Amino acid sequence: MHLDVHSLRDFYYRSALGRAAQRAVRDQVLRYWPDCKGQTVVGYGFAVPLLRPYLREARRVVGLMPAPQGVMPWPQAMPNVTALCEETMWPLETGHVDRLVLMHGLETSERPSEVLEECYRVLGPGGEVLFIVPNRSGLWARSDNTPFGFGRPYSLSQLDSQLRQYDFVRQSHVSVLYQPPSPRRFWMRTGPMWENIGRAIPAVVAGGVLIVRAAKRYPPQRKGLGDRVRVPSPLEVLAPVPKKEPKAI
């Protein structure tokens, strides 16, 4: 079940814990993709907090938000780049996305298989996708104080298995959000320290969020995966249907 877009907005932009989470996840995204100049960057779910660094140099930035979640205009005081879409029918051309990031779009979906099919369809040659999901072993998946406490948490093996079924190959993975999901002042002040410790010795404590970087397998093993979607021309839709000639008796 998707969370409401206003609840997500309030967490990431109006709470100290949400801003800390946004910063930790976005920093890791930038480590993977430091430069997207001239590329098409797309976020699905509620990934817009991670897209701001790419607004200036990317060829195109799009924030897709699923209909059950709702949509909000973003970024503030700039031309809007967000759009409401069906979970299984994204308004994007096949094979035209260079960088795709999902956050709060997979674990909350009731149709994750079809979401992965859309990911495969829109991703272009050489493209990469980041799947950001709650870690089954982490504290954030067990707390209702954050959006990562809703939906289906994943272990790395579970997510890896699901991605392989839809012809994605994992390139690398990392965990983030090692600080406890608490707004208490002590944890907020020591948050950066916990992130540094977690990255240095991840075996000591489980991060709250998994980030998996993946690419498409060529050729796809699933029949029909990645097929081009054709949108009928408006002129074709309005064209009269030809009348059938009566059969001779």
pLDDT, tens digit, 9 for 90 and up, residues 74-99: 999 899 999 999 999 999 999 999 99
pLDDT of residue 204: 64
Structure-model confidence comparison of residues 193 and 114, the more confident one = 114
pLDDT at position 235: 39
Q: Considering the domain boundaries, does residue 236 fall inside one?
A: no
Least confident span in 83-87, 161-165, 219-223: 219-223
Residue 248 placed within a domain: no
**What are the DSSP calls for the chain, one per residue?**
-PPPHHHHHHHHHHSHHHHHHHHHHHHHHHHH-S--TT-EEEEEES-GGGTGGGTTTSSEEEEEEETTT-----STTS---EEEEBTTB-SS-TT-EEEEEEESSSTT-S-HHHHHHHHHHHEEEEEEEEEEEEBTTSSGGG-TTSGGGSS--B-HHHHHHHHHHTTEEEEEEEEE--S-S---HHHHHTHHHHHHHHHH-TTTS--SEEEEEEEE-SS-SSTTTTPPPPPPPHHHHHSPPPPPPPPP-
Residue 84, domain extent: 5-227
Cα 33 from Cα 27, distance rounded (Å): 10
Contact 192, 229 (CB under 8 A): no
Whole-model pTM?
A: 0.86
Answer yes or no: is 38 within a domain: yes
Looking at the domain assignment, is residue 202 inside a domain?
Answer: yes
Examine residue 64 and state whether it is found in any structural domain, yes or no.
yes
Q: What's residue 196's pLDDT? A: 80
CA pair distance 153, 210, nearest whole angstrom: 9
Q: Confidence band (pLDDT; 50, 70, 90) for 157?
A: very high
pLDDT band, residue 188 (cuts 50/70/90): confident
Residue 185 falls inside a structural domain: yes
Average pLDDT over residues 112-128: 96
Using H for helix, E for strand and C for coil, what is the string for 95-110?
CCEEEEEEECCCCCCC
What is the CATH number for 120?
3.40.50.150
- Note whether residue 247 is domain-resident: no
Give the pLDDT score at 147. 96
Helix 5-14 × helix 16-32 angle, to 10°:
90
Cβ atoms of 75 and 55 within 8 Å: the answer is yes
Q: Is the pLDDT of residue 42 over 90?
A: yes
Domain count, the chain: 1
Kindly report, residue by residue over 125-155, the tens digit of the pLDDT. 999 999 999 999 999 999 988 999 999 999 9
| Residue 246 included in any domain | no
- Report the share of the chain in percent with pLDDT over 90: 72
Name the nearest CA neighbour of 61 among 106, 92, 15, 95.
92
Say what percent of the chain tops pLDDT 70.
86
